[in-house]
């Protein structure tokens, strides 16, 4: 039998970016809020203490801050005809664990969204005709526009303390010749901080991209270019490019995180409680199955605890949100055979390509210097900034040098053909470690009928619940786009005039490799939209089926973006919170009539 | 940030400003001394002056047997040999590092999802699917390699000359020998990965003694403060420091 806790107004599952934003917004509205985080308490002190945090083996290699897969993981298969196997060691993606979630160890690339990607199906059908999108590609419009979200992008940047250069502000050109992105949509305000400095690698990319005729710009970064105080009174210090960014707690208070930017404002509140080591196993529904009564979780001692609440926010990582909906019976599970059902549908990822260029000793890229959000990019092939007509694929890709800091155990790389050990390896590693540039094509990934999430029939977690199963593989459109992007980025690499180049793109027929890191940008499975037949959530991230359950996160994206997802995740969370505060609390019920 | 965190930020700034002072005193020295030392004669663990530590007593393994220890020393000395580039894995203390790792949760597979059923023959793109854990992989892999050396060369691995040891390691790397209990390729991949870890980790973990791995490639270790170096196309001049404050 569960111990039953005192009822609260709102319970939040997961304390990463979405959980922290919702906690702040709902406590501002006067609600009593409890946030349940399944991992431990974590903060800058002691988890990011200098110099202990400057430890590659403990953090990146043994994966200290990432999800504990000994307790729970996902299973993966390439098609419905395969038997799914557990992801026994983290590889392709690195979800977080503990207070701050992946927001504590992320890099900090902080984009908005290209407006056409919010209405991608409509846009492609308008420009290229109804037959351009492949039949099995299930991309959908988000159901919300850039104009509607602009104030929330703006506010999220202020909370994060984001560094960057606007192109236009309220229609006035401000960014030409200063690192602005000519493809960026209009903004209501400049970035809170100016762009960060550019590393030598980023400078090389900028020069080469200009030579090839592209339009390089400074990456928007949630690493501070100067001291900053956000609207919640949280203070940040200037980023010193320590090079221990992605995978680490920032010891400098320079990388935005829920812990640095939001938690300090929540801690003193009498109407907020953060309960770590609380692993939620289900959302409880009433007998009508149309209303949640709260959640049940396992505490640190293994006791089952029920937390009643009027409002339930699922703010866990993308695939945990989807799994909790499936485990709780919220929404109809997706069936790839019929295409019916919505929970688990439109699972999408990121379509990455990488090129490494190796230089002589007079080019000092000093790759140990780095900041996770920093760099120089081009958008000439992102979104629909070029004519897709002749190329026959859907999707775009920003390309960039984003030198986050590479460390010697996992971050050394040598020209193709170098042996993996012995004196030849040693010499190459000594010759190239500080003389190389790595650049990425960070491609959008589309959703398909056959890529989806459901519950695994065989494997279970430490609490006896079925693991989530991913059925996922690269499709023809993905390979086509990746090869196109690699060719375009190759021109930039060649213009740098390096000694050697390594091309790490996708080959025809290649399967998804679960062991090799790509990104942690997983999308979909509990998608937002305008029709309950094709989406799990309405445009305010409210469950169509259970009106007091809201599900913010990249799980709501109907497909992947060219840009990194966190900026849109944060903006959508503020957008959803505004709807809860201004509409839902006054009149609890569906915010959109089905 | 709340009020109570400010004193800590102040403390951090003070700590950081100390580093360059230390740096000036040691610029270049440590690195050049190390590089000038003939590699083969390099001491096992050069300790910076002024630090208290017991004189170089040889490390006694606590997981590996004497026979396994001999294999491990002989193998890592070939994977990262001492040569004109500088000290190798032996001088960096890689065997000590690997032995110490055998007592961590990693070596017991405790960081991995290890619930069955297992499918050890799954395609490589499905990632790790074996029920073996690093401790077992070393025990089984060393025994199988020693049996191979005994059969083919009538010698222990450590008793072979360098060229023959390289040849055996290349066979393991290619997965040529069909070992009964552990795939040769799997054993080799752990041996190589852990050797590189031990060569490049912070010395706090028992490897990279004297920061020889970092010095070889120009990694400054725990300095982690490059505000003034971001935009400069020049060699970073300061030697590495470790978490414990040692200087290369």
Average pLDDT for runs of 10 along chain A of length 594: 94 98 98 98 97 98 97 98 98 97 98 98 98 98 98 98 98 97 98 98 98 98 98 98 98 98 98 98 97 98 98 98 98 98 98 98 98 98 98 98 98 97 98 98 98 98 98 98 98 98 96 96 98 98 98 98 98 98 98 93
Q: Is the pLDDT of residue B28 over 50?
A: no
Q: Residue A386: in which H helix or E strand, if any? A: none
Say whether B230 and A236 touch across the interface (CB within 8 A).
no
Instruction: Answer yes or no: is B191 within a domain.
Output: yes
* Residue A152 · residue A575 · CB < 8 Å: yes
| Chain A partners within 8 Å of B197 (Cβ) | 57, 61, 409
The shortest C-alpha distance from A240 to chain B (Å) reads 4
The size of chain B, in residues, is: 248
| Chain B partners within 8 Å of A429 (Cβ) | 216-217
Give the domain range for residue B198: 37-45+58-217
The shortest C-alpha distance from B107 to chain A (Å) reads 11
What's the per-residue H, E or C state across chain B?
CCHHHHHHHHHHHHHHHHHHHHHHHHCCHHHHHHHHCCHHHCCCCCCCCCCCCCCCCCCCCCCCCHHHHHHHHHHHHHHCCCECCECCCCCCCHHHHHHHHCCCHHHHCCCCCCCCCCCCCCCHHHCCCCCCCHHHHHHHHHHHHHHHHHHHHCCCCCCCCHHHHHHHHHHHHHCCCCCCCCCHHHHHHHHHHHHHHHHHCCHHHCCCHHHHHHHHHCCCECCCCCCCCCCCCCCCCCCCECCCCCEC
Q: Is the pLDDT of residue B40 over 90?
A: no
Instruction: Answer yes or no: is B92 within a domain.
Output: yes
| Chain B partners within 8 Å of A409 (Cβ) | 196-197, 200-201
CA A377 vs CA A156, A542, A591: distances in Å: 22, 35, 39
In chain A, the percentage of residues whose pLDDT exceeds 70 is 100
- Closest residue in B to A267 (Cα) is B2
Query: What is the pLDDT at residue A1?
Result: 67
Query: What is the pLDDT at residue B56?
Result: 63
> What residues of A are annotated to the active site?
521
Q: What pLDDT band is residue B55 in, cutting at 50, 70 and 90?
A: low
- Give me the sign of the Cα torsion angle B94, B99, B100, B106: positive
Least CB–CB distance from B2: residue in A52, A85, A267: A267
Instruction: Answer yes or no: is B119 within a domain.
Output: yes
Find which of A422, A432, A466 to mutate to test the B interface (most B CBs within 10 Å of its CB): A422
Q: Is A361 helix (H, G, I), strand (E, B) or coil?
A: coil
Query: What's the average model confidence in pLDDT over B23-32?
Result: 35
DSSP H helices, A65-176, are 102-105, 115-118, 120-128, 146-160
ipTM of the complex: 0.96
- Closest residue in A to B166 (Cα) is A422
Domain count for chain B, please give it. 1
Query: What is the pLDDT at residue B54?
Result: 52
pLDDT digits (tens, 9 = 90+) for A225-270: 999 999 999 999 999 999 999 999 999 999 999 999 999 999 999 9
Query: What is the pLDDT at residue B57?
Result: 76
Say whether A57 and B202 touch across the interface (CB within 8 A).
yes
Say whether B224 and A423 touch across the interface (CB within 8 A).
no
Q: Is the pLDDT of residue B19 over 70?
A: no
Least CB–CB distance from B1: residue in A73, A241, A260: A260
pLDDT digits (tens, 9 = 90+) for B172-196: 999 999 999 999 999 999 999 999 9
Q: What pLDDT band is residue B20 in, cutting at 50, 70 and 90?
A: very low
- Give me the sign of the Cα torsion angle A102, A104, A109, A115: positive
- Closest residue in A to B6 (Cα) is A235
The shortest C-alpha distance from B151 to chain A (Å) reads 25
Instruction: Answer yes or no: is B5 within a domain.
Output: no
CA angle A446, A17, A98 (to 5 degrees): 110
Instruction: Answer yes or no: is B245 within a domain.
Output: no
Query: What's the average model confidence in pLDDT over B228-232?
Result: 98
| Chain B partners within 8 Å of A52 (Cβ) | 243
Which pairing describes strands A235-236 and A228-229: parallel, antiparallel, or unpaired?
Answer: antiparallel
Closest CA to B123 of A92, A511, A506, A74: A511
Say whether B12 and A420 touch across the interface (CB within 8 A).
no
CATH number of A3-584: 3.50.50.60
Find which of B226, B228, B247 to mutate to test the A interface (most A CBs within 10 Å of its CB): B226
Instruction: Answer yes or no: is B213 within a domain.
Output: yes
Least CB–CB distance from A242: residue in B112, B224, B234: B224
Q: How many contacts does A have with B, using Cβ atoms within 8 A? A: 198
* Residue A542 · residue A549 · CB < 8 Å: yes
Q: Is A401 helix (H, G, I), strand (E, B) or coil?
A: strand
Query: What is the pLDDT at residue A594?
Result: 82
Query: What is the pLDDT at residue A2?
Result: 86
Domain residue limits, chain A: 3-584
pLDDT digits (tens, 9 = 90+) for B70-129: 999 999 999 999 999 999 999 999 999 999 999 999 999 999 999 999 999 999 999 999
Instruction: Answer yes or no: is B227 within a domain.
Output: no
β-bridge mates for residue A313, sequence order: A12, A550
Query: What is the pLDDT at residue B17?
Result: 37
Say whether A421 and B234 touch across the interface (CB within 8 A).
no
Structure tokens at B54: 């017991």
Query: What is the pLDDT at residue B45?
Result: 44
* C-alpha distance across the termini of chain A, in Å: 37
A232 half-sphere exposure, CB direction, 13 A CA radius:
31
Compute φ and ψ for B157, nearest 5 degrees. -60, -45
Q: Which residue has the tokens 């499709």?
A: A475
What's the per-residue H, E or C state across A409-449?
HHHCCCCCCCCCCHHHHHHHHHHHCCCEEEEEEEEECCCEC
Say whether B202 and A54 touch across the interface (CB within 8 A).
yes
Q: Is A494 helix (H, G, I), strand (E, B) or coil?
A: helix
Find which of B113, B222, B227 to mutate to test the A interface (most A CBs within 10 Å of its CB): B113
Query: What is the pLDDT at residue B5?
Result: 44
Query: What is the pLDDT at residue B23?
Result: 36
What's the per-residue H, E or C state across A4-59?
ECCCEEEEEECCCHHHHHHHHHHHHCCCCEEEECCCCCCCHHHHCCCCCCCCHHHH
| Chain A partners within 8 Å of B202 (Cβ) | 54-57
Least CB–CB distance from A197: residue in B9, B16, B231: B231
Query: What is the pLDDT at residue A231?
Result: 98
- Closest residue in B to A458 (Cα) is B117
């Amino acid at each position: 039998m569960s111990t039953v806790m005192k009822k609260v107004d709102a319970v939040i599952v997961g304390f990463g970016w979405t959980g922290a934003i919702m906690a702040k917004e709902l406590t501002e509205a006067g609600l009593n809020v409890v946030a349940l985080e399944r991992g431990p308490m974590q903060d800058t002190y002691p988890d990011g203490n200098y110099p202990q945090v400057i430890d590659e083996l403990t953090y990146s290699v043994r994966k200290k801050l990432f999800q504990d897969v000994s307790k729970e993981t996902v299973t993966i298969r390439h098609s419905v005809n395969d038997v799914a196997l557990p992801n026994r060691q983290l590889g392709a993606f690195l979800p977080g664990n503990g207070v701050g979630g992946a927001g504590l160890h992320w890099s900090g690339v902080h984009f908005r969204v290209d407006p056409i990607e919010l209405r991608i199906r409509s846009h492609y059908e308008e420009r290229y005709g109804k037959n351009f999108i492949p039949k099995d590609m299930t991309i959908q419009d988000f159901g919300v526009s850039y104009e509607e979200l602009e104030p929330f992008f703006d506010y999220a940047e202020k909370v994060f303390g984001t560094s960057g250069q606007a192109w236009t502000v309220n229609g006035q050109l401000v960014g030409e010749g200063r690192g602005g992105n000519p493809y960026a949509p209009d903004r209501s305000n400049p970035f809170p901080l100016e762009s960060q400095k550019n590393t030598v690698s980023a400078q090389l990319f900028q020069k080469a991209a200009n030579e090839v005729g592209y339009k390089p710009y400074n990456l928007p970064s949630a690493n501070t270019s100067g001291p900053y105080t956000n609207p919640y009174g949280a203070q940040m210090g200037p980023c010193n490019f320590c090079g221990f960014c992605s995978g680490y707690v920032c010891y400098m208070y320079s990388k935005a995180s829920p812990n640095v930017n939001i938690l300090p404002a929540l801690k003193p509140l009498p109407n907020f409680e953060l309960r770590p080591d609380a692993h939620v196993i289900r959302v409880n529904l009433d007998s009508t199955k149309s209303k949640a009564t709260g959640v049940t979780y396992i505490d640190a001692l293994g006791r089952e605890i029920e937390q009643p609440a009027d409002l339930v926010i699922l703010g866990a990582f993308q695939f945990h949100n989807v799994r909790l909906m499936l485990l709780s019976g919220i929404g109809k599970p997706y069936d790839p055979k019929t295409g019916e059902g919505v929970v688990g549908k439109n699972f999408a990822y990121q379509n990455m390509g990488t090129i490494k260029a190796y230089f002589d000793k007079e080019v000092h890229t000093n790759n140990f210097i780095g900041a996770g959000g920093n760099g120089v990019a081009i958008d000439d092939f992102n979104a629909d900034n070029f004519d897709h007509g002749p190329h026959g694929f859907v999707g775009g890709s920003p390309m960039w040098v984003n030198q986050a800091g590479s460390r010697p155990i996992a971050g050394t790389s040598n020209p193709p053909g170098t042996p993996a050990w012995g004196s030849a390896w040693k010499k190459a590693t000594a010759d190239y470690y500080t003389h190389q540039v790595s650049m990425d094509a960070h491609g959008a990934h589309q959703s398909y009928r056959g890529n989806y999430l459901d519950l695994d029939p065989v494997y279970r977690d430490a609490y006896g619940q079925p693991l989530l199963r991913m059925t996922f593989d690269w499709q023809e459109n993905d390979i086509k786009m990746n090869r196109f992007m690699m060719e375009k980025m190759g021109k930039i690499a060649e213009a740098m005039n390096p000694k050697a180049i390594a091309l790490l793109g996708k080959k025809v027929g290649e399967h998804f490799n679960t062991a090799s890191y790509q990104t942690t940008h997983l999308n979909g499975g509990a998608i937002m939209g305008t029709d309950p037949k094709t989406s799990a959530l309405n445009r305010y991230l409210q469950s169509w089926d259970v009106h007091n359950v809201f599900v913010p996160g990249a799980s709501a994206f109907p497909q992947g973006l060219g840009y990194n997802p966190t900026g849109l995740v944060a903006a959508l969370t503020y957008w959803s919170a505004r709807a809860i505060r201004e509409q839902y609390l006054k009149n609890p019920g569906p915010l959109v009539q089905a | 940030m709340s009020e109570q965190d400010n004193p800590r930020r102040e403390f951090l700034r003070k700590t950081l400003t100390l580093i360059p002072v230390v740096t000036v005193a040691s610029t270049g020295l440590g690195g050049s001394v190390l590089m000038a030392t003939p590699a083969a004669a390099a001491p096992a663990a050069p300790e910076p002056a002024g630090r208290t530590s017991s004189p170089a007593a040889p490390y006694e393994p606590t997981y590996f047997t004497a026979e396994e220890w001999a294999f491990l020393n002989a193998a890592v000395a070939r994977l990262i040999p001492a040569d004109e580039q500088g000290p190798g894995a032996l001088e960096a203390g890689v065997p000590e590092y690997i032995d110490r790792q055998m007592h961590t949760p990693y070596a017991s597979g405790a960081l991995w999802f290890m619930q069955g059923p297992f499918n050890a023959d799954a395609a490589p793109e499905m990632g790790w699917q074996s029920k073996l854990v690093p401790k077992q992989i070393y025990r089984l892999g060393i025994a199988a390699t020693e049996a191979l050396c005994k059969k083919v060369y009538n010698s222990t691995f450590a008793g072979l000359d360098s060229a023959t040891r390289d040849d055996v390691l290349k066979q393991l790397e290619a997965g040529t020998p069909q070992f009964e209990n552990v795939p040769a390729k799997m054993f080799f991949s752990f041996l190589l990965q852990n050797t590189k870890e031990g060569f490049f980790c912070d010395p706090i973990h028992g490897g990279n003694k004297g920061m020889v791995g970092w010095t070889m490639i120009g990694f400054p270790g725990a300095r982690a403060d490059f505000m003034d170096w971001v935009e400069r196309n020049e060699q970073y001049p300061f030697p590495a420091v470790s978490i414990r404050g040692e200087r290369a």
